[in-house]
Amino acid sequence: SQQGEEDPQALSIQEGENATMNCSYKTSINNLQWYRQNSGRGLVHLILIRSNEREKHSGRLRVTLDTSKKSSSLLITASRAADTASYFCATVVPGGSEKLVFGKGMKLTVNP
Amino acid sequence: GAVVSQHPSWVICKSGTSVKIECRSLDFQATTMFWYRQFPKQSLMLMATSNEGSKATYEQGVEKDKFLINHASLTLSTLTVTSAHPEDSSFYICSASNLLQETQYFGPGTRLLVL
């Protein structure tokens, strides 16, 4: 079953602009993770934010988490053409399982 | 570090044959491996979770006799698609983790086409 829902589902921007992707989920979580997938390839882990954290940074990435609204956002600043990919949020729910429940994904296109 | 490989990267087979996909953690011991399936332009759907030395746990709706999973060592898990049919054509991705990690490390995926 899928838990997360990314918004928007597709985004096209110019190089240098910022890209913001939102993710909503339905249940309580241990953590929320963002992954990137280049076309036809595996997933690359970008960043993890725990349920007791509100914001996290990694390079050009900024992730926020609002557990009261069950939502997260991923901000990519100063985008590059190489950022073109699909982005997925995934949650780990409490209960001891390490299972990731993925959202539907969002296709980001950064035009040079 | 944390590299996961899959083999083969793509496979074409005739309907009715069985196909084995290998997933290896190259530089760490994976206590848990996960198998996902992804249809074009869709998200990843977890098929099963396998722990080394024990039977895999399958997600609802996934036929365990159809998708055989073996996790015989801490670095290798295999997925066998038995009696493959065209509807089994998909992108299969594995991931691996151990007790020290909060994240999963993904393989590059295997594209299966059943004719």
Name the residue facing A42 among B32, B93, B103 (closest C-beta). B93
Dig out the tokens for A38 from the structure: 């280049």
Q: Give the distance from residue A106's alpha carbon to the nearest chain B alpha carbon, in angstroms.
A: 9
Q: Where are the beta strands (DSSP E) in chain B?
A: 4-7, 10-13, 19-25, 32-38, 44-51, 57-58, 67-73, 76-81, 90-97, 105-106, 110-114
- B109: chain A residues, CB-CB within 8 Å: 40-42
| Binary contact (B91, A40; C-beta < 8 A) | yes
B22-63 residue pLDDT tens? 999 998 898 899 999 998 888 999 999 998 888 899 999 999
pLDDT of residue A37: 95
- B46: chain A residues, CB-CB within 8 Å: 99-102
Distances in Å between the alpha carbon of A25 and those of A1, A66, B43? 12, 11, 15
Average pLDDT over all residues of chain B:
92
In the predicted structure, residue A56 carries a pLDDT above the cut 90: yes
